Chains A and B, each alone.
Chain A
Amino acid sequence: MNNLIVLPLIIPIITGIILVFLRSSIMLQRVISIITMITVSVISFLLLDIVQTEGIIRLDFSGWLPPFGILFVADSFALLLVLTASVVTTICLLYAFSTIGKDNEKMFFYPFVMFLIAGVNGSFLTGDIFNLFVCFEVMLLASYVLVAMGGKKVQLRESLKYVLINVVASWLFLVALAFLYGTVKTLNMAHIAERVAEAGQEPLLTTVAILFLLVFGLKAGLLLFFWLPGSYSVPPAAVQALFSALLTKVGIYALIRTFTLMFPLNQEITHTLIGIMAGITIIAGCLGALSGRDVYTIGTYNVIIGVGFILIGLAAGTETAMTGAVYYLMHDMVAKALLFLIIGMMVYLTDETIIKNMSGLIRNYPLFGWIYFIVLLALTGIPPLSGFVGKILIGQGALEAESYILLAIGFASSIIVLYSLLRIFLASFFGETTISFEDRKRIPKGAYSSFILLAISIVFIGVGAESLAVYVKDAVNTLINPSVYIDAVLKE
Chain B
Amino acid sequence: MFGQFLLNLFIALLWLLLVDAPTPEITTFFSGFVVGIGILYVMHRFFGTRFYLNRVIKLINLILLFIKEILISSFSVMKQILTPKLNITPGIFTYKTNLEGEWEVTALALLLTLTPGSVVMEVSEKGDVFYIHAMDIEQSKEEVIRSIGKYEKAIMEVTRE
A–B touching in complex (CB under 8 Å): no
